[in-house]
Amino acid sequence: MYRKAALSQYTNIDAETRTQVQDSHQLVTLLFEKGCSLLRQSQENLKQGDVEGFSKNTDHAMQIVIGLRGVLDLDKGGDLAKQLYETYTSIAASLFKAIGNKDTVAIEKLYLAMSELKEGWLAVK
């Protein structure tokens, strides 16, 4: 148990350090990477019967999706920002449903969607 708590603290410190030195493009990239990682971890949690871990990871992934949606500038971003807003809203709704059903197939599709968004984001810069 101590090892798990120590690893969690290290991860938090590492995330804090990385966010202090990154520009906004890199921060969004980190959010995409973390969101994808959490979706993968949640699938593993379900395979192992770890409902608590599944809940924690999917809740965190949901926060990231909502956060990505929340930072969009709909006034200045034009049609692209509006499309992304709708995409994040759809992902959040699908994730909510997948969480309730503990649906690993749906979570895999959401992982792929987030991965595609991440790749698109990386192509921008």
% the chain with pLDDT above 70: 82
The residues near 118 (Cβ < 8 Å, ≥ 6 apart) are 29, 32, 33, 36
65 domain residue, yes or no: yes
For the chain, the domain total comes to: 1
**Statement: residue 16 has pLDDT above 80:** no
9 domain residue, yes or no: no
- In this predicted structure, what is the pLDDT of residue 10? 44
| Chain mean pLDDT for the chain | 87
d(CA 28, CA 125): 12
In the block, residue with structure tokens 């992902």: 91
**Statement: residue 109 has pLDDT above 80:** yes
16 domain residue, yes or no: no
The residues near 61 (Cβ < 8 Å, ≥ 6 apart) are 35, 38, 39, 42, 95
3 domain residue, yes or no: no
42 domain residue, yes or no: yes
1 domain residue, yes or no: no
**Statement: residue 6 has pLDDT above 50:** no
The CATH number covering residue 119 comes to 1.20.120.340
Q: What is the tens place of the pLDDT at every residue in 38-94?
A: 999 999 999 999 999 999 999 999 999 999 999 999 999 999 999 999 999 999 999
Task: Enter the pTM of the model.
Answer: 0.81
107 domain residue, yes or no: yes
d(CA 38, CA 78): 30
- In this predicted structure, what is the pLDDT of residue 21? 52
The residues near 20 (Cβ < 8 Å, ≥ 6 apart) are none
For residues 34, 40, 43, 44, the Cα torsion angle rounded to the nearest 10 degrees is -100
Domain around 97: 23-124
